[in-house]
Structure 1
Amino acid sequence: MYTIGEFSKIGGVSTKTLRYYDEMNILKPAYVNNENQYRYYSQEQVLEILFIIELKEYGLTLDEIKKVLEDKNIYFLQNILEEKLQEINKQLEEKIKMQSRIERKIKKMKIGGKIMESYKTLAVQLKDRAPMTIISQRTITDVQQIDDLICNLYKSIERMNLKPSGPVMSIYHDKEFDPESTDLEVCIPVNKNLAVKNSRELAGGLHACTTFIGPYSRFGEAYAKVIKWIQDNGYQIAGAPFDIYIVGPDSTDNSDEYVTEICFPVKLV
């Protein structure tokens, strides 16, 4: 038998953590002395604590680890690990894209680029957009999850045997933007008038629009340009702005080549 101090060294965790594992019914001591409440662990539990540490390194939550230990279901663990692997692959892809962006930035600076420079001249146009039927999904979410929302929306359209009639869009309903908790609606235009749960008509009318070429992280420049044009030309914002992703990550790995139309519904003051 091992004391809790000895077992903490074996597992490479604190005694406080071992007590917490006991409370959570993740790993209980093999024996507790009734007189002094000292905890003791068995030789068989050495593999258990090492397995728990291994699973934590893989990114499993304590609830997931508890279920793995309780059920000892190899398929459950396999599914979780496959999900973790998908997350890692996605993170690696994002890191590679970021690496490319940094390399391009360094290259521009080496040939005389400025530390901060404006993107290409942005022209704002007043458009009278026609109403359109869209399939949409609206939720409060972190903007980093937009790719997952778009993917799920495309799956919904496939299940309904519909075809998109235009690029995917995102509508921002918040008056004040919070990237970690934003009222976001992703939508895809379709060529049918539908009476289904996720369909609605996106209103037409006057919109101040600009086409931005570059990474999504630089959208602020385009938004500022459109808002200034609205103020300077006697209009006011009349609804939630939206982005139309004409060229995106599904078409190119170079974020400098992304093409997005940014639109604000407007009306005369």
Structure 2
Amino acid sequence: MKLISIGELSKISGSTIRALRYYDDKGFLKPEYIDHETNYRYYSADQLGKLTVLQMCSEFGIPLKKLELFQDTGSNFDLSSMISEGEELLRNKLEELKVLEARMDSLKRSISNLQEKKSINSVYKNEYPERIVITITYDYVDPYSHSFSKMITDLYKKVRKYNLTALYNQGVIKVKDDRKDKMVGFIEVKKMTFTKEQNKHLVKLPAGNYQCELFEFEDFRSNFNLIWNQKVEEDELVICSDIFDSNFSKAVPYIEIQKLPLIEPLIIK
């Protein structure tokens, strides 16, 4: 039986020598013969079939440790099952790419809108569409204390738990609840067809012409009592939202305060 050197197999198959050595080390494709004096690896022509399957797994993104799932007791592989596995992985990857695209678009819009807002030196009106957010109780008076980072981390855990897509809009919401100011942290999520379980944890912020004011973060903190600690009016929604800038160096470069009179009470979950 004529044997093929690892270099020849590399040229024939298109696999790199490094990949062939990896397949050997991990036990996926052992050489037919190893010259113990030179340590050269040699393969039989029959091993080209298994190598082709290994290449398919790599191309389809199928972990090589799953290879045995598609192999019978002999040396035959069920390519139809392997293709089905690859298709499922591809669908998942496409979903991940859609999620990434939605997050990038959200951040791009936020940065673009900020450039216009920065030129306004007074209160302005901004038309916001309906926004879907996931919330968590936030009891601290200062929405940007050190506890804010932990609150956002906990929100992202909820986003992952309920298979939601977080967008680049986060902050704190204040409303009147039983005549007292109620504060919650929020992250906006991408609109989709939500399940009943997902809907239990989501809040719809109403569309409307919000009264807004933009602050650089340091200005917001130095005038905190005047800006944020005002009492919320009855039937009023107040949102304190982070705004990212293209020239980014600080975690929270800008804060936008958004206020809207509510036609009907907002139920915060």
Q: Output the TM-score relative to the length of structure 1.
A: 0.44
Q: Which has the larger radius of gyration?
A: 2
Q: Output the TM-score relative to the length of structure 2.
A: 0.44
